Structure 1
């Protein structure tokens, strides 16, 4: 795994390097986000086989790394994003040509426009288009991404759902798309033989499309009968927190809904292992990594019946219509009151999770990149 410097690095004195493949990791940061997880897990496999040059704010053992400023990530908010996009358009192309690369791979949908650069990008989801807002992300997906997709030699995506969205929203030909599913760290997310405790858990953000309003309404329908808690694990975004809190108060659930902001990664498997089930009511996902992590722990999963979630869960979970709180509540009640169902879904979830691995994903990625080099 890479290490992060404590101060911003400079690429002013560019180290002589040469590689057919240049990988742009300017977006990486130390937060445990899905995008960071994808890069951190995939890139070590690419280093071993393809020997690329990396553009990264952190140092990678065993790889030629050109360190770039570490103030261009989501940690710095919108300013970080803007710095990175300006750097991508004004500096990245020069580096690509200077080291004689033949292909640029970016694990996020960011790359220089024009400049005679052959590029491969990964698109993780089109949520800013499915749920548009007056945000920078929606503006980027509407104004910048269309041209980037047209210029890209090939495009990776995490699910068939995202591939279909790319075809629907942008008319990207199917032959230019390759599906590379995510995976989780099985050493970390595994059964721990801990006793179940009396709570359901949701892991993720508070954005409106995550559908927590209906989850809370559903929980209110069964809480008194089951005498359980609901744990909301993930970053507490102040933009969306008031609406979620208002729903909790309106349903009289203040004492039984717990917020757990940015739980350390080493503690998350414990929380998942001890939950009755993970409930994921999201209206749309590009993949659903937190669901897979729960499955890898042997935790039963209750998920929305749309987007990429059926691709991840298969027959190993309970599905519900996320627009119907009663349907969500029914699945929660079913799993809580049937120990046999808990055991069957626990075993099925664990078995299903074994079908996803970074070895498989990296093999698909490497084969496609090699074909383009």
Structure 2
């Protein structure tokens, strides 16, 4: 018996949900509960641990690469309502055709299950930012989720949320039975760890960077991340320091970015801001470990992986004090109002110039980061599976889970 795992988010470049899905699948496999993953174009047996972002293996001969399917889906989502419906209908059909006959349950990791498939269903809800801040999302996404997410919540047998904050948000903004919500925190990859300048040199050189000589803002470039605060705070630093310690933006270009791009154009031209775009998974732990600090003024996160990755590297995380971020960071970082440009600038200046302060914050960060692991996430998720399939409504516990 096996878990059918909705894993459409597994394609490069991986976003936060893709990272969650990949690590969960890998750690479930390590626990002897390897899921069967639905990728949108086909089903696959296992997620490789040695090729992050490459996605699952065992694709059928002639299968269309997942990156092509994701590009096509994004194009369709930007098109007509009919095209969006057709895209999802096509995926739902492929899901049903390939659904393993021995699946014990279905776990959808990305908000919207592919309908009622006759199995106990687990749904992961990562946040409800599209309800709380709809103006920070593309209109098509907001429309899709408003239309389908309430039904998904009603029909799910268990709803996993990645923080206590998301649990509170669901109960506040959605109609959901609190008895079926389970909190399972995300983890952090062991690849994120402190590294010496010598260990960092080669990778950072590929990106034109030096260890402890840049400030890092990591994540998809989109309005909710409030990167304007990071930019304006950095511009308040002394001119010489701005040039010596640039603000580095690393992450794929998202949506509604034109205003930010206009605002930072001159700083980019002066070399005070660097825009790296997508950074390969293999390089990312080095990029994080080499920063003076992580700057993360996001106004809304269901969890907040980048601050945790920074903390696991012993790098100070200068973060927003809103949403789930304080729950994750606790005393392991610096928490500020995301609109407090002066506060962010002061913390950035200290991270650049005060090495003992940076080291002390880094020690606290390392202690806090030890609480989170993908192994723990997988074990607690497996407990949810066992609870569900062993409940009276779904018969006896399934052997192998």
Offset of residue 103 of structure 1 = 2.0
TM-superposed CA distance for 1:250, in Å, is: 6.4
Cα shift readout 1:309-359 (whole Å, capped 9, x = no counterpart):
111111011111102212221222233332221111111112211111111
Q: Distance in 2 between matches of 1:353 and 1:200?
A: 20
Residue matched to 1:78: 74
Write the mapping of 1:35-54 to structure 2, written as runs, cut at 5 A: 35-47=17-29, 48-50=31-33, 52-54=35-37
2:320 maps to 304
Q: More deviation in 46-55 or 68-77? A: 68-77
Partner of residue 232, structure 1? 249
> Which residue is equivalent to 2:393?
none
Provide the residue aligned with 1:331 in structure 2.
347
In structure 2, the CA distance between the partners of 1:251 and 1:137, relative to structure 1 (3 Å rule), is: same
Correspondence for 1:11? none
Of the candidates 282, 289, 301, which is equivalent to residue 285 of structure 1? 301
Q: Distance in 2 between matches of 1:141 and 1:88?
A: 17
Tell me if the contact between 1:27 and 1:73 (Cα under 8 Å) persists in the aligned partners: no
Secondary structure of 1:112's aligned partner: coil
Q: Distance in 2 between matches of 1:140 and 1:252?
A: 36
**1:9 aligned partner:** none
Aligned equivalents of 2:26, 2:238: Cα separation in 1: 45
Q: How many angstroms apart in 1 are the aligned matches of 2:388 and 2:59? A: 23
Structure 1 residues 28 and 341: CA distance shift in structure 2, 3 A = same
For these two proteins, the number of residue pairs brought into alignment is 352
- Tell me the SS of whatever aligns to 1:201: strand
Q: RMSD of aligned C-alpha atoms?
A: 2.8
Query: Partner of 1:169 in structure 2?
Result: 173
Q: Please, which runs of 5 or more residues in structure 2 have no aligned partner?
A: 49-55, 78-83, 199-210, 390-401
Q: Classify the secondary structure of the residue corresponding to 1:23.
A: strand
The answer to whether 1:30 aligns with 2:8 is: no
In the TM superposition, what are the counterparts of 1:1-373 in structure 2 within 5 Å?
19=1, 21-47=3-29, 48-50=31-33, 52-56=35-39, 57=42, 58-60=44-46, 70-71=65-66, 73-79=69-75, 82=84, 85-93=88-96, 95-96=98-99, 99=101, 101-114=103-116, 116-133=118-135, 134-186=138-190, 188-194=191-197, 196-224=211-239, 226-227=241-242, 228-237=245-254, 239-249=255-265, 254-373=270-389
Per the alignment, do residues 371 and 70 of structure 1 end up closer, same or farther by CA in structure 2, a change over 3 Å counting? Answer: farther
TM-score, length-normalised on structure 1?
0.85
> What's the CA shift string for 1:242-278, capped at 9, x where partnerless?
3223212467974211111111222222222221101
SS of the aligned residue for 2:134 comes to: coil
Distance 1:301 1:176 in 2: 33
Could you say which residue in structure 2 is the equivalent of 1:3? none
What is the CA-CA distance between 1:235 and the residue it aligns to?
Answer: 1.4
Secondary structure of the structure 2 residue equivalent to 1:42: helix
Equivalent pair of 2:218/2:306 in contact (CA under 8 Å): yes
The ranges of structure 1 where at least 4 consecutive aligned residues each deviate by more than 6 angstroms after the TM superposition are 61-66, 250-253
What's the offset of the Cα at 1:31? 1.9
Contact 2:332 2:368 in 1 (8 A): yes
Report the TM-score when normalising by structure 2. Answer: 0.79
Change (3 A) 1:219 1:51: closer
Q: Matches of 2:58 and 2:213 in 1, distance apart?
A: 47
1:99 and 1:25 mapped to 2: Cα distance? Answer: 18
> Gaps spanning 5+ residues in structure 1: where?
1-18
